[in-house]
Structure formats: structure tokens, C-alpha cells
């Protein structure tokens, strides 16, 4: 296990380095004129040149990259070229928002998808058909459309929930929770649908295995069979789907963040990319890759904990 | 003595009348004050350094915390503010500003002539996008504890307006050269940014500056600005009562009004063609004014306005804002949609078989370019298109890569627009076009500052078709039931002092 962890951490570091390097090169070689974008349409060429020099854009790419890398290794990701806010600060402001939405969405997905998937697999019949129809519909509904419908009903018409904005959990846990209800609901309809299908499929597959028949023949209780044996074996594929969804939601929550005006990393990433804000983009990329590595590691450990057969010696 | 007695009696009568009920008439009712104004902004705040201050949407973030030297109202009238008096010399190259002596910044620093000079120099030497607005200022001379003189290289008809907006904003001298100013504003304005309640990217909360010298001019106890970049989110927030006012567009007006919101409009950006290759360096045909005029006749501006902007705006042929000195309503009938006349002009200029021109395609304009390019093709101009990425658009346009291109321009002060679009060294006169006749007209307008001289510049540009504007579109602004607002000419959103609680 120790070597497994070390191997994963080392490969994670290599991944972060590789992605950051490629991002830096791509942005530097193909990006627009950041100095012009900062100064706007009325600045003179002399002003643009002065700004470019101020940002270090007149220096060779390799020199700039090494400077950035050296500072990043010391935890300094620089300052946004546009807002002039330290990148670390903007990430510290934005990530909790996206993580709140995505973490709650994944937890809700995990619980509801497991319940629906297992129920469908065990009961079969009309329950199974209902879950399958729900899965197809849930998967087909665009989350931004669901979001707009939810806002119109629960915020604009009934005034029950906020239409926009985010309150940090440290400021007011109640308003934090209220603010998350609509965005999370809009997100989880699709993810529950797909995860429930995975859980259902995996559970049916396990239920048809020989060892389950043997356990049943030995008179083991239905609950114990389901939770101690079937679910543990079926958890692997479901956890993999959940980890993929976590990563996908982080990147894909842009639309939901826009509809609900949530100041998360989605809008930050879109703005930074459109403007060519290199320090901001690099900071985002590094943190995202680290997050993906960590989530995958946690899922691997969880899978191993749930299913001894999946453990790495 | 008798006069004094009469005055005393009159005063007593007024007081008595007031006390016995005259105060209940609508005219004498005090305007409501207090409460919170919550604005939904279309853009997030950027730098808080006044040297980086921008016109447009982001001005609203700065105005609560930074006072300017002068003041501008919704009628574009310039009045004293931190400068209690201002006078030009006869040549209009020396502007004397007498400053208030009772102003203090929120960190306790005092405001005086040295501070004003330092702020003006900070703005002028900064790399902000509007440092150009002080380009005519050669030096700032301190002539007393509370008096400065701005010495200009030439008259600047837009200077007073700029001193009432971004160029005149005053920050505390203690942080003027400190990097912290970009992230933490310290001004002398009517409000201070409340760091505890503010969450970057989510909401900016301003509370009253307890020591402010002119509290009565700002009725709200608190201002909250929420950056809501998505129009749907802004509309939902306004309809659900989470915000009081926000910027919208023509397409959302009907929905907003049916929801009981108040929609107001103000003519703002013009849209049309920038025909920048007036000497024919890239496309030789464009050197002939008849060809440029043909491009104006070829495109149905009124049809585009109706179809794309739902009729929210007015057809125009001028680059100047309808509220500006240079705008002449008579010029708007100079061209109309007439493809036959366009073909005749092309033939007259020797281009009966047309010519080829490359123009850009870019996000946000495809609904217009699809029609406009086709209408140019209809008169025989072979329009080739190149797709340009959003982050490369401005650089590509300003580099003079395209002989002509469609664009949207937020016109404001006439002189400001001449500096940006028309003068030979203007950034948007990419190929540095000039003619002796136009130079003379510009010079006359700069010196006199009179409307007639500015209108002569506009007439020349329309006649020579330096640009081919199609229409000037309305800025649409929505308010909820608790707030009233006066629309601001020459800015996409109202200034912060234009808002008031609803009666």
C-alpha cells in the first residue's frame, strides 16, 4: 500500500508538472495580446509595449517559464494580470464555492443513486422500469434548463429560495445550505440518473454470481447479503463513476455557476481564458490537476477498503 | 431696519406655514433616505487603483469610494466637487482648481493641493487604459495649500468631464504608490468598502463614510454591488427582489415590464462599419469616397436595427453620441438603404465589377455580419471573411490588419471620440488617415469647444464616409419597485449618484 501511495503521488507530481508546462507553452505561443486586452481598445502602442514589458512578456518564454516554476514551487502563483489580485487569494475565494456545490452534489448523488440502483436491482419489475425511465429522462434533461425552471418556480414565483449568490458556510450555515439547494438539484438530476444505472447494473451482476447463490443457500440474511457482500462488490464501478462525475462537475459547473451567479472557478476559468490571464490560468490548472489526483487517490483507497480483492499489496 | 423687519416677518410666515401643513404638499416633501441599494453589475470589479479606473460598467464600483475633483450630473452639467471652483484662462490652456479644505480620506489623511497633484500624476503616469484622458496635461502646479493649476499643451474640451470621472478620482496619499491600492480602495468618497461583508466576485458592500462632507447627496445608507455576468441571472435576481437595478438588453425588455419592473432606455453604442483604409493602402478602391459611400448605401441599417435590436435605438450616420456637442440630427438622413445607388456609385468610381475585401468574423457580431456582408456582396463587393478569436480581436483590429470591419462603439464626449477615432494619431485611426480640411475642422473644434465646430467635423466624416454607422442602440436599464434612477448619457449604466429610494 505504501509503495502504491508513493507511486501515485509521484505520478501526480509528474502530471501536474506536465500539464502546467503544456498550458504555459500553449498560452504563450497561441494566446492573444494580453497587454492590449488589459489596457483596452484606446491605449496607444507605446502604452501596450510598456505594459507588456511590465508583465515580462518581452522576455524569452523559457526564462518566463522558469521564473514562474521557481515561484510556484514556493507557493507563489503570481498575480492576476487583470484584477491584480494574488492568484492564491482568488483561488482561495473561488474554490470553496465550486467545492461546496460539487461535493454536496456528489454526496447527494452517491446516496440517492445507491438507493435507487439497489432498489431497482433487487425489486426489479415496475420499480426497475421506473428507475430506468427516470435515468433516461434525467440524463436527457440539460442541467441549465432544469436550473432555469427551478429558479423560476422556487425563487422568482414562490420566493422560497435565493435566485442567485453564495454565502460562505462560515458566515451563515443556514443561508449557505439554502443557496445550494437549487444549484445542487439542477446538477444532480443528471448525475443520479447515470450513477443509479451503474449501481443497478453492478448490483444485478453481483446478485447473479455463484457466491451470492451459495450465501443464500447458507441462509444468510437478505440485509447482510446485500450490504456486506453485494454492495461491497458493486461499489467499485459506482465509485469510479462518482469520481469521474466529481471531476466532470468541477469543470462542467460553469453553466450552473452562471445561472445562479455563483462566484466559483467556472466563471474564473472562462474569464481568465478569454482574457489570456496566464498566471490565473496556470494557478487554476495546477489546483485542478492536484484535485483530480487527490480524488482519484481517495477513490482508489475507498475501493480497496470496501473490496479487499481490489487492494494493492 | 424696515427691510430687516419685513424679511423677519416673511421668514416667520414661511416657518408658520411650513409648521401648519405646507410640508404635506408633494413639492416640499423630503426625499426618502436610508436603506440599501443593491445593484446587479454586468462585470466583476477589477483593480481598485484609480489609475486603472474604467468608464462604463466598472465605474459604479469606484464611485462610492472615490470622490472626483469635479462632478457631472445626468444632464452632463459639470459642477464643483472636491474642487470648489474651476476657471480656465482665455487660451484654455491653464485650468485653475480651488480645492475644498474640509476633506479627509477614510484612513485619516487630509486632502490638499499636493495630494491632488500626486493623484493626477499617478493617473497620468499609470498604465491604466484611460491615462490618455490626461494626455494634454503638461504639468500640475501647486499654487497654494488648496489650489492647483493644470497647464495644458493645447485646449482639451473633454478635460472637465474627465476630471469629474476617472481622471479626477482621489486616493489617499498614504497608499497612492502602494501595491495594496489595487486590491484595497482608500478614498474620500461617500462610502467605504466594508471588507468584512465583501466577498470578491460575489458581492461588494459599501457602508457610509461617517466623516463625509456631503452626505445629503447620497440617500442610501448602504450600497451593495453584486457582479452577475449572466443576463438571465440578473433578471431572475431583479424579479425575485434580490437586487434593485440592473443592465439588460432589448430582448429582455418585454419580459421585464410584464413582471412589473421599470425599463428605461438611453441611446448608447453605435454599430456599423469602420472603414479605416481611407488612403486605399490595403484595398485601393476604398481611397475613393464614392466607394465608401456605396458601402453606407448598401447596408439596411434600419432593417438591422429592427431585426437584431428589436427597434431599440435610432438609425444614424454619425459616430458621435446623440447627447454630444458634435451630433447634428440633420446628418442622419444623409444616407438610406439604396443598393441601386450603391451600385451606381461603385460604377462611377470605376468599380462596376466590384472588388475584393477581407473582413473579420467574431463572436457577438455574427447576427449582424451575416446580413451586412451579404448586402455588400449584393452590390458586387466580394467580402472574404476570417474568423478571429475573442482574445485576439482588438489586437488584430488595432494592428490595421483589416481595411474595414463592423464594430460597436460606445460613443461619449465628442472630443474624447475624436481623440480615439479620428485624429491622425488616434488608436482607432489605425492607418493614420488625415486630410488638411479635417485637420483644420478638428483644430477649430478643439480651440472653440463650440457645438457648431464639432458638428462641422461630424458633417465631414459623414460626407466622406470615414465610417458607416447603421444605428445607435439603446442601453436598457431595469429597476425594481424600491428604487428610481436617472439614466446617464454617455455611460452604459447610471452613475452611483443617479439612484434614489422610491417615494
Domain match, A35 and A157 both: no
Strands (E), B313-402: 313-315, 356-361, 382-387
The span from the CA of A176 to the CA of A183, in Å, is 12
CA B367, B373, B375 angle in degrees (round to 5)?
A: 105
Q: Can you give the pLDDT at residue A312?
A: 55
Q: Residue A103 maps to which CATH number? A: 1.10.3720.10
Task: Give the range of the structural domain holding residue A16, as residue numbers without chain letter.
Answer: 2-73
All cell numbers assigned to A226: 446485500
For residue B228, give the chain A residue with the closest CA.
A261
Check whether B7 has a pLDDT greater than 50: no
Q: For a pLDDT cut of 90, what percent of chain B falls above it? A: 83
10 Å Cβ neighbour count for B23?
12
For residue A163, give the chain B residue with the closest CA.
B237
Rounded to a whole number of angstroms, the distance from the CA of B136 to the nearest CA of chain A is 15
Check whether A175 has a pLDDT greater than 70: yes
Q: Can you give the pLDDT at residue A311?
A: 61
Convert the pLDDT of each residue in A222-281 to its tens digit: 888 888 888 887 777 778 888 888 888 887 678 888 889 898 988 888 888 888 889 999
- Which residue in the set A83, A85, A163 is minimally distant from B237, CB to CB? A163
For residue A97, give the chain B residue with the closest CA.
B202
For residue A261, give the chain B residue with the closest CA.
B228
- A265-275 helix and B390-398 helix, angle to the nearest 10 degrees: 20
Taking a contact as any Cβ pair under 8 Å apart, which residues of chain B between 252 and 271 contact chain A? Answer: none
- Which residue in the set B233, B241, B394 is minimally distant from A36, CB to CB? B394
Rounded to a whole number of angstroms, the distance from the CA of A181 to the nearest CA of chain B is 16
Rounded to a whole number of angstroms, the distance from the CA of A70 to the nearest CA of chain B is 22
Q: CB distance from B413 to chain A under 8 Å?
A: no
Q: Is residue A37 part of a domain?
A: yes
Q: Is residue A283 part of a domain?
A: no
Convert the pLDDT of each residue in B360-417 to its tens digit: 999 888 889 999 999 999 999 999 999 998 778 888 898 899 999 999 999 999 999 9
Domain match, A145 and A43 both: no
B199/A36 Cβ within 8 A: no
CA A245, A249, A252 angle in degrees (round to 5)?
A: 130
User: What residues in B contact A145, CB-CB < 8 Å?
Assistant: none
A268/B200 Cβ within 8 A: no
CATH class of residue range B31-261+480-501: alpha beta
- CATH among 3.40.50.10800, 3.10.105.10, 3.40.50.1860, 3.40.50.300 for B268-474: 3.10.105.10
- Distance between terminal CA atoms of chain B? 43
Domains B31-261+480-501 and B268-474 equal at CATH topology level:
no
Domain count, chain A: 2
Convert the pLDDT of each residue in B277-302 to its tens digit: 999 999 999 999 999 999 999 999 99
C-alpha distance from residue B263 to each of B41, B282, B311, B312, B410 (Å): 16, 44, 15, 12, 20
Q: CB distance from B398 to chain A under 8 Å?
A: yes
For residue B429, give the chain A residue with the closest CA.
A42
Of the candidates B494, B467, B463, the residue with the CA atom closest to the CA atom of residue B478 = B494
Q: Is A109 helix (H, G, I), strand (E, B) or coil?
A: helix
The residues spanned by each domain of chain B are 31-261+480-501, 268-474
B104 has which bridge partners? B110
Do residues A226 and A121 make contact, with C-beta atoms less than 8 angstroms apart? no
CA-CA-CA-CA torsion sign (B111, B115, B120, B124) = negative
All cell numbers assigned to A262: 455563483
Convert the pLDDT of each residue in B37-54 to its tens digit: 999 999 999 899 999 999
Domain match, A201 and A264 both: yes
Convert the pLDDT of each residue in B137-155 to its tens digit: 999 999 999 999 999 999 9
Best interface-test mutation with A: which of B202, B227, B242, B362 has the largest number of A CBs within 10 A?
A: B202
Q: Is residue A240 part of a domain?
A: yes
Q: Which letter does DSSP use for residue B421 in this model?
A: I
Convert the pLDDT of each residue in B214-249 to its tens digit: 999 999 999 999 999 999 999 999 999 999 999 999
Best interface-test mutation with B: which of A32, A38, A42 has the largest number of B CBs within 10 A?
A: A42
Domain match, A176 and A218 both: yes
Q: Can you give the pLDDT at residue A241?
A: 83
C-alpha distance from residue B255 to each of B217, B261, B262 (Å): 33, 9, 11
A166/B229 Cβ within 8 A: no
Convert the pLDDT of each residue in B332-354 to its tens digit: 999 999 999 999 999 999 999 99
Domain match, A152 and A119 both: yes
Domain ends where: A42, A73, A104?
A73
Convert the pLDDT of each residue in B82-132 to its tens digit: 999 999 999 999 999 999 999 999 999 999 999 999 999 999 988 788 888
Domain match, A237 and A135 both: yes
Check whether B449 has a pLDDT greater than 70: yes
- Which residue in the set B183, B202, B234 is minimally distant from A84, CB to CB? B183
pTM for the predicted model, two decimal places:
0.85
10 Å Cβ neighbour count for A240?
15
For residue A277, give the chain B residue with the closest CA.
B391
Amino acid at each position: 500500500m505504501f509503495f502504491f501511495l508513493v507511486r501515485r503521488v509521484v505520478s501526480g507530481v509528474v502530471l501536474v508538472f506536465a500539464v502546467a508546462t503544456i498550458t504555459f507553452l500553449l498560452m504563450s505561443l497561441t494566446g492573444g495580446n494580453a497587454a492590449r486586452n488589459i489596457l483596452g481598445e484606446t491605449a496607444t502602442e507605446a502604452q501596450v509595449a510598456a505594459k507588456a514589458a511590465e508583465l515580462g512578456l518581452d522576455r524569452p518564454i523559457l526564462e518566463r517559464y522558469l521564473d514562474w516554476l521557481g515561484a510556484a514551487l514556493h507557493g507563489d502563483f503570481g498575480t492576476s494580470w487583470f484584477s491584480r489580485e494574488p492568484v492564491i487569494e482568488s483561488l482561495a475565494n473561488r474554490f470553496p464555492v465550486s467545492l461546496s456545490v460539487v461535493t454536496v452534489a456528489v454526496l447527494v448523488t452517491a446516496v440517492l443513486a445507491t438507493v435507487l440502483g439497489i432498489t431497482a436491482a433487487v425489486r426489479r419489475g415496475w420499480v426497475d422500469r421506473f428507475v430506468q425511465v427516470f435515468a433516461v429522462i434525467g440524463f436527457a434533461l440539460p442541467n441549465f434548463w432544469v436550473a432555469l425552471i427551478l429558479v423560476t418556480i422556487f425563487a422568482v414565483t414562490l420566493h422560497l429560495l435565493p435566485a442567485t449568490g453564495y454565502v460562505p458556510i462560515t458566515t451563515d450555515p443556514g443561508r449557505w445550505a439554502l443557496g445550494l439547494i437549487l444549484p445542487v438539484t439542477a446538477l444532480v438530476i443528471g448525475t443520479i440518473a447515470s450513477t443509479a444505472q451503474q449501481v443497478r447494473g453492478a448490483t444485478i451482476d453481483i446478485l447473479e454470481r455463484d457466491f451470492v447463490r451459495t450465501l443464500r443457500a447458507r441462509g444468510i440474511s437478505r440485509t447482510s447479503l446485500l450490504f456486506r457482500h453485494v454492495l461491497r462488490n458493486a461499489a467499485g464501478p459506482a465509485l469510479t463513476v462518482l469520481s469521474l462525475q466529481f471531476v466532470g462537475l468541477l469543470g462542467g459547473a460553469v453553466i450552473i455557476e452562471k445561472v445562479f451567479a455563483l462566484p466559483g472557478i467556472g466563471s474564473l476559468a472562462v474569464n481568465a481564458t478569454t482574457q489570456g490571464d496566464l498566471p490565473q490560468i496556470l494557478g487554476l490548472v495546477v489546483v485542478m490537476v492536484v484535485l483530480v489526483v487527490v480524488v482519484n487517490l481517495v477513490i482508489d483507497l475507498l475501493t480497496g477498503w470496501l473490496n479487499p480483492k481490489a487492494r494493492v499489496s | 431696519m424696515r427691510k430687516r423687519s419685513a424679511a423677519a416677518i416673511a421668514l416667520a410666515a414661511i416657518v408658520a406655514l411650513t409648521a401648519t401643513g405646507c410640508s404635506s404638499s408633494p413639492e416640499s416633501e423630503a426625499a426618502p433616505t436610508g436603506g440599501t441599494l443593491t445593484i446587479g453589475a454586468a462585470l466583476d470589479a477589477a483593480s481598485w487603483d484609480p489609475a486603472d479606473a474604467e468608464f462604463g460598467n466598472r465605474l459604479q464600483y469606484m464611485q462610492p469610494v472615490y470622490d472626483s475633483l469635479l462632478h457631472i450630473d445626468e444632464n452632463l452639467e459639470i459642477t464643483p466637487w472636491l474642487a470648489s471652483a474651476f476657471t480656465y484662462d482665455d487660451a484654455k490652456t491653464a485650468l485653475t482648481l480651488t480645492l475644498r479644505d474640509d476633506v479627509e480620506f477614510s484612513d485619516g489623511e487630509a486632502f490638499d493641493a499636493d495630494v491632488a497633484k500626486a493623484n493626477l500624476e499617478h493617473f497620468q503616469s499609470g498604465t491604466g487604459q484611460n491615462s490618455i484622458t490626461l494626455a494634454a496635461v503638461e504639468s500640475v502646479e501647486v499654487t497654494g495649500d488648496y489650489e492647483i493649476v493644470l497647464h495644458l499643451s493645447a485646449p482639451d474640451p473633454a478635460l472637465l468631464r474627465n476630471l469629474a470621472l476617472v481622471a479626477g478620482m482621489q486616493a489617499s496619499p498614504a497608499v497612492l504608490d502602494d501595491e495594496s491600492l489595487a486590491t484595497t480602495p482608500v478614498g474620500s468618497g461617500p462610502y467605504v468598502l466594508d471588507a468584512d461583508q465583501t466577498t470578491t466576485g460575489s458581492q461588494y458592500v459599501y457602508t457610509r463614510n461617517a466623516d463625509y462632507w456631503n452626505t445629503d447627496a447620497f440617500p442610501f445608507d448602504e450600497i451593495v454591488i453584486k457582479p452577475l455576468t449572466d443576463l438571465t441571472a440578473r433578471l431572475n435576481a431583479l424579479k425575485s427582489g434580490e437586487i434593485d437595478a440592473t443592465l439588460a438588453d432589448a430582448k429582455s425588455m418585454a419580459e421585464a415590464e410584464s413582471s412589473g419592473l421599470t425599463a428605461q432606455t438611453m441611446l448608447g453604442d453605435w454599430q456599423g462599419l469602420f472603414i479605416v483604409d481611407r488612403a486605399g493602402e490595403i484595398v485601393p478602391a476604398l481611397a475613393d469616397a464614392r466607394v465608401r459611400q456605396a458601402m453606407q448605401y448598401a447596408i439596411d441599417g434600419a432593417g438591422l436595427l429592427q431585426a437584431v435590436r428589436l427597434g431599440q435605438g435610432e438609425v444614424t450616420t454619425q459616430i458621435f453620441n446623440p447627447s454630444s456637442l458634435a451630433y447634428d440630427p440633420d446628418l442622419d438622413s444623409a444616407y438610406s438603404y439604396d443598393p441601386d445607388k450603391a451600385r451606381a456609385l461603385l460604377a462611377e468610381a470605376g468599380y462596376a465589377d466590384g472588388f475584393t475585401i477581407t473582413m473579420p468574423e467574431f463572436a457577438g457580431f455574427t447576427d449582424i455580419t451575416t446580413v451586412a456582408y451579404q448586402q455588400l456582396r449584393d452590390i458586387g463587393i466580394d467580402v472574404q471573411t476570417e474568423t478571429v478569436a475573442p482574445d485576439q480581436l482588438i489586437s488584430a483590429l488595432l494592428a490595421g490588419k483589416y481595411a474595414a470591419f463592423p464594430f460597436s462603439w460606445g460613443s461619449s464626449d465628442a472630443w474624447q471620440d475624436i481623440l480615439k477615432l479620428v485624429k491622425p494619431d488616434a488608436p482607432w485611426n489605425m492607418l493614420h488617415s488625415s486630410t488638411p480640411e479635417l485637420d483644420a475642422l478638428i483644430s477649430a473644434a478643439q480651440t472653440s469647444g463650440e457645438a457648431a465646430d464639432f458638428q462641422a467635423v461630424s458633417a465631414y466624416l459623414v460626407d466622406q464616409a470615414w465610417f458607416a454607422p447603421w444605428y445607435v442602440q439603446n442601453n436598457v436599464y431595469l429597476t425594481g419597485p424600491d428604487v428610481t434612477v436617472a439614466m446617464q448619457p454617455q455611460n452604459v449604466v447610471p452613475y452611483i449618484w443617479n439612484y434614489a429610494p422610491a417615494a
